[in-house]
Chains A and B, each alone.
Chain A
């Protein structure tokens, strides 16, 4: 499958600033191209691109992968003439700020109007996936223990079973990972126990990671036994392939990140971009997301997820992070400094002391 994908993509570049600044191809190609800058694993999104290319064989896709913060920096650094057509990222706060700063243009289409309001801001930035933030655990390690199902029980489990958890809990590095920072801040906004949980995580000497895949690797191998606040899409995908790990959707509340896409204001292939974004939220596109890709569709089959957890009579309080300017609060330099400082002192001070 990856061979086929390679055929469709002119470029397939892993995150790299140097390459991201390469000059564009001659203009003869312009009309039938579509440039996508994205902070999404190519493997996860490939089936979507694949289907779109099959439907529109004359549109050549150019896909470049970044991590979320690099993507934000790349868009801001690029001259207006060199902006990509479509920008995708799970760091919705950064996406919202780009839109607020005038980097986007509206998307038109019936499907856009039908979106839930939290997944659409100004018709300019649109959420097209539904990715709960989950706990991931090493099944072998928890063979004899109860897996914590809520934030509350996780906090108390870590406090009580200190030795079991110490050095073995992993989470995102809020300083390096855009999605890590987003969920950490949203935890603070959403929940009253986040302070206590941070303290427990600190006491357990939580290891911090920049990327989801490395976190999942370490949990699977047993280097870690528990992962806190991981992106559900990648975790469920890994769980399917790897029997060593288990995924829990927290029951008290589960933040939901919706991967956000916008069309650049300076897009050179606007009609292609409009077609692509409309495809992402179309019935067909959502079906591809649900069935073929590692991502999760906007209306996910939640029952299927729950049944895997053997929970009965439990409803999960899904809390989608709404797209809107409030997401920019924690991007404020001063606010960010303050939050990171608090986060560091809670999670990392003990590590550094030693």
Chain B
């Protein structure tokens, strides 16, 4: 997790986002409700207009060879159902002449007498009105043709009805939204409750106490609890390993120091000057042992530390191995040891920590030199297959019996072969192999001695671009 991310409350964020979502749903629904309210108000009052205009049409008749209108009282009483609305009307004769009513009613630009009835909105006497226009064909001997009734009504009752529907629907919608928000609030609080109870028990919990956190019956939360417990157990075991390592290391260093000290004491109390070179030689050997131990301890610490912190880099294993072998040949030029190098194929590049890998291989080479006979044969063999890269160091030394090989990998375990060693070298190699996701094996060498094989997995390899 990036530390730059601002801290936030999941509760308020969830509530806020739900509210936002609900609000947008509310907005969309409101549009629908508005449309519905408008339509139903229009529908209802259009029917009223329709019936009234029909009733007025009934009042149209031919009298004395002229179309005349006997305006029905019932039509207007019907219109009064919209009790606050103004009413305007007009009757037109067969030639479009005014029979009676308001003379300048807003008419559609084109009469379509085929459709008996049409509705439209208009403006009349500075009021918004809904107009119905109705046609009827008169065919009497004296008069024949289309007569027209225009009836208009202001929109107050429609708006009132529409607002009424809107307010009611909004009230219901708001109620639902409020309920949902309350339910959400309760649900979120309920869902987050285990989190706070875990944090509470963690806060009152000592990290180093062996006691695990109490398990929970909540299925969603128990993985977290067991993960924390696993983590704690791992931490505790690591801590135990560390403690043991420190105890072992201090024991080793103290032993070496006291041995050196004892040799120094013997040398300083010796009367015989002739013995001095022998004493000095012993002291130098003890000191060499101490130095080697210290170096290996430091190397171990470095390797372990590096595996935790250092980012991997691309490395060419062949080049590194050749370099190491060159150094080793140079350092052991005074010995009768044959070094060889074998690599039959082109190895892919490897993503790894070259320093710790070098250290591991150097350790193996040193071991081969150190524990091997005077006339030794040491070979670095590199091999790549589908599963990864193998680095093998073969020697012609005494080897390690199969039963002891596993033990040899443990720290501070020295095999009883009469040669002094720190007991850390192989364990460093194992740590490095592990840090790279690989493995470390001790096997039989074709030269009769030991083969140390470091297996690096394929995941770390990179195809060569060459």
Contact = CB atoms under 8 A, between A and B. Distances in A.
A122 B84 contact: yes
Interface string B73-95: 10111011001111110000000
Given A325-B80, A334-B100, A189 B73 contact: yes
A335 B86 CA distance: 19
Given A102-B126, A328-B87, A338 B70 contact: yes
Which of B71, B75, B79, B88 has the most C-beta atoms of chain A within 10 angstroms of its own C-beta? B71
A114 B130 CA distance: 30
A353 interface: no
Mostly helix, strand, loop or mixed at chain A's interface? helix
A326 B83 contact: no
Contacts of B421: none
B100 A332 contact: yes
A133 B78 CA distance: 26
Nearest to A121: B84
A313 interface: no
Given A102-B126, A102-B127, A334-B100, A329 B71 contact: yes
B87 A332 contact: no
Nearest to B156: A122
A110 interface: no
B99 interface: yes
B69 interface: yes
Contacts of B101: 332
Contacts of B125: 101-102
Contact of A328 (B76, B85, B156): B76
A271 interface: no
Interface residues of B, number: 24
B99 to A, nearest CB: 7
A48 B126 CA distance: 34
Contact of B76 (A121, A122, A329): A329
B60 to A, nearest CB: 10
B68 interface: yes
A327 to B, nearest CB: 8
A335 B72 CA distance: 9
A100 interface: yes
Contacts of B76: 325-326, 328-329
A24 B358 CA distance: 115
A333 B100 contact: yes
Nearest to A100: B86
Interface string A213-232: 00000000000000000000
Interface in B44-72: 68-72
A332 B69 contact: yes
A121 B75 CA distance: 18
A324 interface: yes
Contact of B71 (A100, A101, A324, A332): A332
A117 to B, nearest CB: 7
A70 B255 CA distance: 135
Interface in A106-120: 117
A332 B75 CA distance: 13
A108 to B, nearest CB: 15
Contacts of A122: 84, 86, 156
Contact of A325 (B87, B100, B126, B127): B87
Contacts of B75: 329
Contacts of A328: 76, 87
A102 B69 CA distance: 25
A175 to B, nearest CB: 18
Interface string A91-113: 00000000111100000000000
Nearest to B98: A333
Contacts of B77: 326
A100 B87 contact: yes
Given A121-B84, A334-B100, A326 B70 contact: no
Interface string A305-327: 00000000000000000101110
B125 to A, nearest CB: 4
Contacts of A324: 80, 83
Interface of A: 99-102, 117, 121-122, 189, 322, 324-326, 328-329, 332-335, 338
Given A99-B86, A102-B125, A102-B127, 5 more contacts: A121-B84, A189-B73, A325-B76, A329-B71, A332-B101
Interface of B: 68-73, 75-77, 79-80, 83-88, 99-101, 125-127, 156
7 contacts: A102-B127, A121-B83, A122-B156, A329-B72, A329-B73, A332-B71, A335-B100
- Closest 4 A-B residue pairs measured CB to CB? A334-B100, A326-B76, A325-B87, A102-B125
